[in-house]
A and B are shown apart, each in its own frame.
Chain A
Amino acid sequence: MFAMDAIFISRQLSRASSTCGSCALDSIPSRNELYSRGMSECGRNSPAAFMPLGFFAPSIILFARVRSVIRTIVGKWHGRDLRRRVLGSIVGAIVRATGKIASRVTANRDIYCHRRAHNNPEFTQAVDIEGPASSLGTPRWRGYFSGVLIAAGCTALAAIMSIWFAPTNLAMVYLLGVVLAATRLGRNAAIATSVVGTLAFDFFFIPPIYSFAISDTQYLITAIVLLTVGLVISSLASDLRLQAHTATLRERRTAVLYALARELATASSLEDIATSSLSHLAKIFDASGLILLKRPDGAMRSLRAAGSTALIELTDTAITDWVFTQQAIAGTGTDTLPSASAIYLPLNGTLGKVGVLVVHRNNRRPPLVSEQQRLLEAFANQIAVAVERDELRRAAHSSAYAAQEERLRSSLLSSISHDLRTPLAVIGASASSLLQGNSQLSEGIPREAVQTIHHEAQQMTHMVNKILDMTRLEAGSVQLDLQSYHLEEIVGAVLARLKDQFGQRAVSIEIPRDLPMLYVDGALFEKVLINLLENAAQYTPAHTHIEVLASHRDRQIEIQVLDDGPGIPEGSELQVFAKFYRAHAEGSVTGTGLGLAICSAIIEAHGGRIWVENRPGGGAIFSLVLPLKAACNERTQCPVS
């Protein structure tokens, strides 16, 4: 909820110029000028509200209280106003009632404009665009003419009634006519009815009959009261009509905005926002719109690409930039660059500038009047808030993602820091012991310390390589260099590489001669086998047996690594492929907990599958399937079917 600094109260609906003003204006300011002056007086972030003076003082005061208004500026009309004389000044009432709220009364300089309020062409347009034109806009002569007709009707009715009633009572018929004219036809008709009716009453029913002369003073009072009451009623009733009309307009505006807001609330993407807001814009203003959003790189981008190329060409980037930086409306019908072909509205969200809404009205449409401009501004606000909300939603999403990444990173860090610090500590200790015993070096290097350093350094290299592998795979920067390989060849290379770790361990390999070539990234697939065999060697006793089996069927190659060690804990068949998972948390086995995660990532990148199960007789079976290459040439030994 914002605190409002000022209400500008306007007698008119559409323009604040005639009865409302800020301080000491030399000329009649336009509403926007007034608005911006009011804004600059009150500070940018404290909006002002314009209210038509058709409202009664109590409602204005209520509004001011509810919105915590700081200052009220009321235009005071210096013309003759019967109503003011009768009911008291609204301005005076406001000044009396607002008390703490500083009121400022400004003299009105344009009475004519005020008097024309109801027939103001701008006003009719405002009505026109928002609903069917009402009789409010009917020409003046028609009002007077219908007023005369009603007076004539009243006279006819009174003539019939005069048979039974006294002439004084017949005045009531005319009052009825005035009420009818005021509520149905407007002020002009009501005034015509009062005046003509009074004259007709005088002429036809007050003795001497058929003369305007009044013989009895009693009837003179009747006639004067009739005229006065008629005029008061016409004024009051027409104000009521005005208020009803204002309410209708507001209700329509609210309905339009509500419809837009409801659609924007369900919009799940920027495209949705663009589509629904632009379709509403087209429906209500008969205009095509363009939403330009400021991107982080500073460029303005159109939100809706399809079909908007013509609009983008019509859009003036200089105006767009000006509107964005100044946060002020510009273009057709506004005070800035009114000759421009479109209206440019700033999209200002609650957190800052979002972009610019460009509205191109369709051909031969008159420029927007203030009431429509206000609606358009409300539209722009809705769009800005929707866009902002979408951005926030995305930011929230990405921050949730970042938090998840962060958790993973910290678990990686804690895992790595332990695993890397241990060998480093050992290396450091061994090296320092060598340094300490420098004098004894000539008698023979303490071989054990050097061996320890060597071993631990290897361990660390091993670990760092795995971490790097995993990081590369996760970063998605790995491009598969798919080629055809013989499984036998890769297994051979792996065994050669693991020679030191396997030592005298028995590894049996059974690869059928007719096994099709694997279609893999050789270096990555080698890593899979290295990790699987290493894993088997690490987690099983040295005397146990490891087997590598391969088979193919249904255009798939299945490779299995079997061991007869302890197997994996029941229920952790999926977890073993997760990062940093270790089946045996404490124990002599050192590892990063990354090996199987790397395997799984590589196999998935190849479109294959990897899983583990326990062997019935004890031990684990790691199985993986890989799809065959779609087509194989004659030299790559396709399976003979």
Chain B
Amino acid sequence: MTAERPAVIVIEDEPQLRRVLRTMLETNGFRCIESESARRGLLDAKTLRPDLILVDLGLPDRDGLDVIRIVRQWSTVPIIVLTARTEETTKIAALDAGADDYVTKPFTVGELLARLRVALRRASDSNPSGVIDIEALRVDLVHRRVYISGQEVHLTPIEYRLLTVLVKNAGRVVTYNHLLRHVWGPDKIEQHDFVRTYIADLRRKLEADPARPAYILTEVGVGYRLLAPVMERVTN
């Protein structure tokens, strides 16, 4: 059994937090490898071939953003950022550098595990196809159809493209720039108003109460997160 447990490298300089993370991970079916510095973490990532990397942005020897960039040069291993900073720009920078998701300290076990599982699932199946069910929302990627509680919803081509990008990253935060790049192409970068306006339209079609969205959740200043499909979610 031990061999099958996914290995997670924790690059974190504070021993207390490392200890807590180890307990959290070990009791939830992960194997934990502790690295106390960026240098050590990069070495472990190269030699131990982990299934996931959990990296703190505030490391003493090197910026966590650098770690993400360096790992991304040779690996697509899921990276989740641990950040004490609440600034949205830091989160966006980490995501744009190649991180899969972020968890803001202090976090709960549920939050952390949900992010880990979503990231691991995406790593094993990066291009979902077929039919995806998220509560009452059903997206049929084969026939390009969208249903809410069995009722078909008519979307414009852009709204549909927007939804598919979100569905393919379900459970994960998708930045405005990512959405712009994948829906409109690279020349519309930085026009975040575009995304917000189309998301508002999409919500009016999908959500029962657009002011209390159940599917497309907002991470203000960062982007959007589509609710993860049922099997991915952790009830806590």
Contact = CB atoms under 8 A, between A and B. Distances in A.
B60 interface: no
B220 A490 contact: yes
A492 B209 CA distance: 9
B236 interface: no
A457 B106 contact: yes
Contacts of A489: 196, 199-200, 218, 220
Interface centre among B89, B217, B219, B220 (most CB of A within 10 A): B220
A484 interface: yes
A492 B196 contact: no
B69 interface: no
Contacts of A481: 88-89, 221
Nearest to B198: A635
A517 interface: yes
Nearest to A511: B211
Secondary structure at the B interface, as helix, strand, loop or mixed, is mixed
A620 B199 CA distance: 33
Interface in B185-199: 192-194, 196-197, 199
Contact of B211 (A485, A488, A635): A488
Contact of B212 (A484, A490, A495): A495
A493 B219 contact: yes
Contact of A492 (B89, B192, B194, B213): B213
A497 to B, nearest CB: 9
Interface centre among B212, B217, B221 (most CB of A within 10 A): B221
A484 B220 contact: no
A575 interface: no
B210 A484 contact: no
Given A490-B220, A493-B217, A635 B200 contact: no
Interface residues of B, number: 21
A487 B18 CA distance: 39
A492 B219 contact: no
B232 to A, nearest CB: 18
Given A488-B210, A509-B211, A493 B197 contact: no
Contacts of A636: 193, 197
A493 B220 contact: yes
Contact of A495 (B193, B211, B219): B211
B180 to A, nearest CB: 13
Contacts of B127: none
Given A483-B192, A635-B193, A492 B218 contact: yes
Contacts of B196: 484-486, 489, 517
A637 B197 contact: yes
Contacts of A458: 106
Contacts of A306: none
B149 interface: no
Interface in B202-236: 210-213, 217-221
B224 to A, nearest CB: 9
Contacts of B16: none
Contact of A465 (B86, B89, B211): B86
Interface in A471-526: 481, 483-486, 488-493, 495-496, 509, 511, 517, 521-523, 525-526
A595 to B, nearest CB: 16
A633 interface: yes
A590 interface: no
Contact of A486 (B200, B217, B219): B200
A633 B191 CA distance: 11
B217 A496 contact: yes
Nearest to A521: B221
Given A488-B200, A489-B200, A495-B211, A522 B194 contact: no
B208 to A, nearest CB: 12
Contacts of B106: 457-458, 461
A637 B196 CA distance: 11
A-side interface size class: 20 to 34
Contacts of A526: 220-221
A493 B216 CA distance: 10
Given A465-B86, A522-B220, A491 B211 contact: yes
Nearest to A461: B106
Contacts of A635: 193-194, 197
B174 to A, nearest CB: 15
Contacts of B219: 493
Contacts of B218: 489-490, 492-493, 496
A517 B193 contact: yes
B88 A523 contact: yes
Contacts of B88: 481, 522-523
Contacts of B193: 483-484, 517, 633, 635-636
B158 to A, nearest CB: 11
A484 B219 CA distance: 15
B93 to A, nearest CB: 13
Contacts of A633: 193
Nearest to A519: B193
A568 to B, nearest CB: 26
Nearest to A479: B89
B221 A522 contact: yes
A635 B213 CA distance: 22
Nearest to A493: B218
B197 A492 contact: no
A579 to B, nearest CB: 20
Nearest to B199: A489
Nearest to A495: B212
A258 B45 CA distance: 80
Contacts of B199: 489
B211 A492 contact: yes
B183 to A, nearest CB: 14
Nearest to B210: A488
Interface string B84-121: 00111100000000000000001000000000000000
Contacts of B200: 486, 488-489
A354 B197 CA distance: 62
Contacts of A496: 212-213, 217-218
Nearest to A507: B212
Interface string B156-172: 00000000000000000
Interface centre among A486, A492, A511 (most CB of B within 10 A): A492
B212 A492 contact: yes
Contacts of B211: 488, 491-492, 495, 509, 511
Interface string A454-472: 0001100100010010000
B18 to A, nearest CB: 18
A517 B196 CA distance: 10
Nearest to A635: B197
Contacts of B220: 485, 489-490, 493, 522-523, 525-526
Nearest to A523: B221
B6 to A, nearest CB: 27
A483 B212 CA distance: 21
Nearest to B106: A461
A502 to B, nearest CB: 11
A496 B192 CA distance: 22
A522 B88 CA distance: 9
A378 B213 CA distance: 79
Contact of B210 (A490, A492, A523): A492
B26 to A, nearest CB: 17
Given A483-B192, A493-B217, A509-B212, 9 more contacts: A458-B106, A486-B197, A490-B220, A492-B211, A495-B212, A496-B212, A509-B211, A517-B193, A526-B221
13 contacts: A465-B86, A468-B86, A485-B196, A486-B196, A488-B200, A493-B220, A496-B212, A522-B221, A523-B88, A523-B221, A525-B220, A526-B221, A636-B193
Interface of A: 457-458, 461, 465, 468, 481, 483-486, 488-493, 495-496, 509, 511, 517, 521-523, 525-526, 633, 635-637
For the complex of A and B, the 3 pairs showing the least CB-CB separation, nearest first, are: A523-B221, A493-B218, A522-B221
